[in-house]
């Protein structure tokens, strides 16, 4: 039996890990990419392979090393001889106030969130075309409503949103390109103060935090939605239409 194959960047933890598990349960073989979270990724691959033999592989690479993206793409295809789904999930996220922003921060945020996804898609274009595959980019609701204190990150995600729309035209009809724009799914690793959490929840129409499962289910929908391309699906509990995007 031939299983479709998905490559998920930044898949060792959090949303990437949950997405890999959902796709695996849905019958995909998965390639788990990570950079520094090697132990977490190794554990995930082992767990998935225990469920179904040879159904998961680990790919360790630094997406900032753009000269390696062709190698990353080739290695991913070599595991199973095909690729059907690319999920550009890897991201860097941290504040950059205008006064103190550096060239290094610009390059880091722009490369991880925008440049690497573009050139990874480019490297995998032929394989995705062969299998009439799909690309799903992890955008952000802050691509439309900038988050105070994070201008470079927001600009990078806005670029990723336009990449999604542009490439949906450039790569049609054989490759579909869509995006997911998460809202408040997990609290930031640098914990917000309780009053800030209350403020965020009050901005969400459904009045609750989302979960990685919500994102993974949306990704699975887009992977199967063969007449959907060029779309960015907000999975934010109604926050974007409720007028709030401050934190």
Reduced 3-state DSSP string for the chain: CCCCEEEECCCCCHHHHHHHHHHHHCCCEEEEEECCCHHHHHHHHHHHHHHCCCCEEEEECCCCCHHHHHHHHHHHHHHHCCCCEEEECCCCCCCCCCCCCCHHHHHHHHHHHHHHHHHHHHHHHHHHHHCCCEEEEECCHHHCCCCCCCHHHHHHHHHHHHHHHHHHHHCCCCCEEEEEEECCCCCCCCCCCHHHHHHHHHHCCCCCCCCHHHHHHHHHHHHHCCCCCCCEEEECCCCHHHCCCCC
pLDDT, residue 178, reads: 98
Order of strands, sheet of 56-60, starting from the edge strand that comes earlier in the sequence: 56-60, 29-34, 5-8, 85-88, 134-138, 176-182, 232-235
**What is the sign of the dihedral through the CA atoms of 228, 229, 234 and 235?**
positive
Q: Establish whether 153 is a catalytic residue.
A: yes
**Which tokens belong to 135?**
């690309």
Q: Which pLDDT score, from 0 to 100, does residue 237 have?
A: 86
d(CA 71, CA 67): 8
One of 79, 80, 150, 153 is an active-site residue; which one?
153
Q: For residue 95, give every residue at least 6 positions away whose Cβ sits within 8 Å of its Cβ, in sequence order, or none.
A: 149, 150, 153
Please list, in sequence order, all residues whose beta carbon lies within 8 angstroms of the beta carbon of residue 111, skipping any fewer than 6 positions away. 63, 64, 66
Structural domains of the chain sorted by starting position, each given as residue range(s) with its CATH number in brackets? 5-242 (3.40.50.720)
User: In which residue ranges of the chain is pLDDT below 70?
Assistant: 186-197, 243-247
- Choose among 43, 59, 48: nearest CA to 24: 48
Closest by Cα among 200, 196, 221 to 209:
200
* Torsion, CA 187, CA 193, CA 199, CA 202, rounded to 10: 50
């Amino acid at each position: 039996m031939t299983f479709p194959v998905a490559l998920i960047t930044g898949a060792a933890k959090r949303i990437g890990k949950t997405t890999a598990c959902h796709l695996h349960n849905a019958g995909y073989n998965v390639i788990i990419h990570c950079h520094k979270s090697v132990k977490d990724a190794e554990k995930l691959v082992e767990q998935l392979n225990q469920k179904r033999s040879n159904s998961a592989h680990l790919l360790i690479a630094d997406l900032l090393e753009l000269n390696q993206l062709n190698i990353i793409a080739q290695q991913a295809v070599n595991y199973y001889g095909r690729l059907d789904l690319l999920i550009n999930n890897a991201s860097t996220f941290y504040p950059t106030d205008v006064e103190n922003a550096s060239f290094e921060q610009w390059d880091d945020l722009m490369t991880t969130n925008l440049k690497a996804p573009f050139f990874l898609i480019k490297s995998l274009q032929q394989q995705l075309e062969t299998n009439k595959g799909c690309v799903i980019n992890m955008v952000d609701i802050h691509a439309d409503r900038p988050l105070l204190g994070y201008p470079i990150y927001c600009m990078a995600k806005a670029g990723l949103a336009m990449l999604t729309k542009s490439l949906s035209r450039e790569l049609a009809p054989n490759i579909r390109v869509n995006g997911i724009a998460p809202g408040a799914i997990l609290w930031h690793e640098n914990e917000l103060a309780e009053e800030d959490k209350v403020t965020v929840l009050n901005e969400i129409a459904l009045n609750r935090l989302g979960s990685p499962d919500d994102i993974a289910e949306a990704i699975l929908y887009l992977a199967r939605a063969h007449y959907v391309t060029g779309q960015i699906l907000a999975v934010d509990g109604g926050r974007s239409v409720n007028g709030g995007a401050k934190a």
